Amino acid sequence: MKKSKKRRLAGLSAGRTTALLAAVLAAGMPVQAADTVPALTVASSSGKDIFELFFYPKGDGPSGDQRSVRNPSSAEMQGIASGWKIWADVLGPGAANREACIIDVVMDSDRGNAHCGSDIADSDGGMTLLGESIVKGSPNRGRAFMDLGTGAANGSPAPVPLHTDAGEIYSTSVHEAGHGLGLASAITSTAFGEPPLLSAMDKHLFTKGPNGEVVHLRDVKDMAQVVRVDKKGKFYQSKQVTMSDGDKRYSWNREVDKSDLPEGAFLIGEESSSGVFFRGPATTAALETHGPTGLPGVRINGFEHMGKDSTGKEKVYEPDLSHLELAHSMMSHQNYRNYNFFMEAELAVLKDLGYRIDLKRFYGSSIYGSSISGIIVNDDPFYARSADGRGWIVGQP
C-alpha cells in the first residue's frame, strides 16, 4: 500500500489520488483510476483528524484475504466518507486518539451487503482497536476494516434512509461504523475448547436462565453454557461444523433436554426475540428519562440462520449479539428502519462502552416504552451545549 502527501478539503483530507479526488468529494464528479490507494482523512467539525479511510482498487487490499474485487466509484467513496464524517463529529469532542485511525475499505461483489470490524485490543476491557484508540488514546494506531457490496443507492444524508433492496451507502456506512466502534460480539470468534472470548459489548449483556434467574454473559466460563432457544422453546448447544468453504465454526443445533442444561446457562432466542439485553448506567438513564418504563435494557439481536454446512443438509445457527433491536432503529438488523442515525439510547450504549459523548448535544429528551400514563413534561431547551457538556448555553441555538 502506498501512502502519499495529503491536502485539506472542507474537513476531509485527500490522499494522492491526485487533486482529482478532492474535486470528486466537493462536486460529485467522476474519478479516474489512480496508481495509489485513494485516502481520505476525516476530521471532526473542530478540525481534529479522527479517521483515515483507504479505498483499495481492484486486486489490492490490506491483507491477502481482504482485497477489492472491483474499483470503488466516486459516489461510493463519497457516501462512505460522509457516514464516517458523522461519527467524527459525534466522537470528536471526546476523542483521545493521537492520530487518525485507519479504516481499510475494500469493494465486494456481494449485492446488498457490507461488513465492518476491528480486532479486539490486547486489554481486559474487550474494546476494539478502533475504540480503544479513540477512548483511551492507545499508543497503537486504531484500525478497522470495512467492505461494501454492490447495488447500494448513492443517497445523501436525509431525514430517513432510502429504502432500496440493496440499501443506501451513507446509512450503511453509519451502521457498519457502529460495529467497528465496538457494537459487536466476539463469542463466535472463540477458539474450540477455549473459554468464551468476550468483547466490551458482550460484558454488558444479560438474559434469563432456565428458571427465570438473571444470567450475565460476563459470567459464562464455557461455550457449553451458551444455549439457543428456538421458537418452539427447544434448547440447543453448540458443536463444530465444516462450512462449504472448509471453514470450521460453531453451530448451535445439537438439541438437549432442559434437564441437561449446564448451570449458569445463557439462553438466547432467535433474532429480535432473543431475550438478551444490554444494560449500563447511561443506557438506563436514557431509557428512563421520564421515569421507569419497564424496559430491562436495549434488546439485542439473537441467533440467526447462517446457511448450511458442507453437506448441505444441516442448518448452521450462530448468535449475532451485535445489533440493537429498538424499533426500526439504525443499529438494528430489521429490514425497515425509520432513522438515519442513532437514537439516544443507541448512543448511550456507546457511552457505556467508554466513549465520551454528550447525549444532549443531539437529543433534548427521548421517550421509550409504551402505555405510559400521566403527563410528560419536557423542559429541555433547544440551545447549544456548554463546553464541559453539563448544561446549555442559554440563547445560543
Dihedral over alpha carbons 93, 130, 33, 170 (to 10 degrees): -60
Closest CA to 223 of 259, 201, 249, 258: 249
Q: What is the pLDDT of residue 36?
A: 64
- What is the torsional sign of CA 281, 287, 292, 296? negative
- CA atoms 140, 15, 52, 98: torsion sign: positive
CA pair distance 72, 8, nearest whole angstrom: 21
* Structure-block grid coordinates of residue 299: 434488546
User: Which of 133, 111, 249, 99 has the alpha carbon at shortest distance from 187?
Assistant: 249
Cα dihedral across residues 256, 219, 330, 381: positive or negative:
positive
CA distance 117 to 125: 17
Residue pair 97/134 in contact by the 8 Å Cβ criterion = yes
CA 179/CA 186 separation, integer angstroms:
11
The contacts of residue 19 (CB under 8 Å, 6+ apart) are 7
pLDDT score of 295: 85
CA distance 90 to 72: 26
Q: Comparing C-alpha atoms, which of 276, 224, 234 is closest to residue 258? A: 234
* pLDDT score, position 30: 34
End-to-end CA distance of the chain: 45
Compute φ and ψ for 249, nearest 5 degrees.
Answer: -150, 170
Is residue 149 within 8 A of residue 112, CB to CB? The reply is yes
pLDDT at position 246 is 82
Q: Identify any residues that bridge with 49 across adjacent strands, giving them in sequence order.
A: 43
pLDDT tens for the chain, residues 1 to 397:
333 222 222 233 233 222 223 333 333 333 333 446 888 899 998 899 999 999 999 999 998 889 999 999 999 999 999 999 999 999 999 999 989 999 999 999 998 889 999 999 887 889 999 999 999 997 778 899 999 999 888 766 666 666 566 678 998 999 999 999 999 999 988 888 888 999 999 999 999 999 999 999 999 999 999 999 999 999 999 998 888 888 888 899 999 999 999 999 999 999 999 999 999 999 999 998 877 777 899 999 999 998 888 888 888 999 999 999 999 899 999 877 888 899 999 999 999 999 999 998 888 888 887 667 777 887 777 788 888 888 889 888 8
Q: Which of 286, 284, 248, 269 is nearest to 362 (CA)?
A: 286
Torsion (CA) 321, 323, 325, 330 in degrees, nearest 10: 180
Which is nearest to 24 in space by CA: 80, 81, 82, 74? 74
Beta carbons of 116 and 107 less than 8 angstroms apart: no
